[in-house]
Amino acid sequence: MKKTANGIILVLFVLLLSVSCSKTTEEKAAPDAQSAKQEQTRKDPAIELSYSIFFPPSHAQCKAGISWADEVQKRTDGAVKINIFPGGSLTNAKECYDGVVNGISDIGMSCFAYTRGRFPVMEAIDLPFGYPSGMAATRSANDYYAEMKPKELDDVHVLYIHAHGPGLLHTKKPVNNLDDLKGMKIRSTGLSAKVVGALGGIPVAMPQGGTYEALQKGVVEGTFAPIETLKGWKQAEVVDYTTDCHVVGYTTAMFVVMNKQKWDALPADIQKIINDVSSEWIAVHGKVWDDADKEGRAYTEELGNKIIDLSDDEGKKWESAVETVINEYIDAAKAKGIDGEKSVALLKELVSKYSE
């Protein structure tokens, strides 16, 4: 009987020892397996995305786009790598949006105005509302998009929008008033072309990339653009005067959009990081625009170019002249089934809000 009891105790001891050893082995194996999984994750290839930017690599806005891409890569711990193609090297300014839609690039930055008629709701942003700064224009543009959510952008994922400071007139000869501007050939894009026409000039549609040479060769006599272009695109070298007509300051809204299929395929945590960074970069671009405007003004003055200020009476004449552009937009939008009055009212409210 005693032997039987001892035998049972021995068997139980062996079983307990076996379970204990097995558990110890599993506990040791678990961290090893987890470590191996993490190591494999680190070895997995990054999600590579291509980013087409129409600005040249030396331009402040291209650098802001690159810093956005770097921040996304940093916050995703290298899980996302974004390859930059500046200066329209992958898709040019006019082709950029369709390039994103068709998957030529995964992400693109360019101007809505380069494909006139394609974005009738977003075109309203470019109207001459007297934008005081790039920050005000950029914040107004993003709030406007968030409120309107136009279907014309449903074929992409909108990351964010930015817009330059007040478009001013830069010319080879002085323009002190509307009579001086009458009949002059002025480079412009999108709705700014209509502003030129309303002011009595002859609009010549042209992206920024071709403006320097056009001014140099006399193809155009001036350009309507933010003052930052005088340094950012070196146009101060081929003009002699800037007419500060900020009272009719228009802007040009620029998109940063992503291919919809590529966006939908991203993991949810990656999408959140990209959206978070994009939201933060709205202010980054706004500040960059304002800093660039200051640098552009300083640069053109260093070259000996003159800045002409409009008198109060003359400024009112310019404001009155461009009212037709705003009214024409409202009528054209209505013909397309778009509430142009709502767009104009909202943007005037936003410009006033961000001018404070």
Question: pLDDT over 70 for what percent of the chain?
Answer: 88
The helix (H) or strand (E) run that includes residue 307 is strand 306-309
pLDDT in tens, 69-94: 999 999 999 999 999 999 999 999 99
Which residues 6+ apart lie within 8 Å of 283 measured at CB?
135, 138, 139
pLDDT at 227 over 90: yes
The neighbour count for residue 305, using CB atoms within 10 Å, is 17
From CA 196, how far away is CA 225, in angstroms rounded?
11
pLDDT score for 44: 65
pLDDT score for 59: 87
pLDDT in tens, 58-73: 888 999 999 999 999 9
In the numeric block, which tokens belong to residue 181? 């501007």
Question: pLDDT over 90 for what percent of the chain?
Answer: 81
The dihedral over CA atoms of 343, 346, 347, 349, expressed in degrees to the nearest 10, equals 160
Average pLDDT value over all residues in the chain = 90
The neighbour count for residue 134, using CB atoms within 10 Å, is 26
From CA 298, how far away is CA 218, in angstroms rounded?
25
pLDDT at 267 over 90: yes
pLDDT score for 10: 47
pLDDT in tens, 169-210: 999 999 999 999 999 999 998 788 999 999 999 999 988 889
pLDDT at 7 over 70: no
pLDDT in tens, 292-345: 999 999 999 999 999 999 999 999 999 999 999 999 999 999 999 999 999 999
pLDDT score for 41: 43
Query: Sign of torsion, CA 95 97 103 109?
Result: positive
pLDDT at 43 over 50: no
Q: Name the pLDDT band for 117 (thresholds 50, 70, 90).
A: confident
Q: Among 30-44, 231-245, 249-263, 330-344, which is the least confidently predicted range?
A: 30-44
pLDDT at 350 over 70: yes
pLDDT at 23 over 50: no
pLDDT score for 54: 94
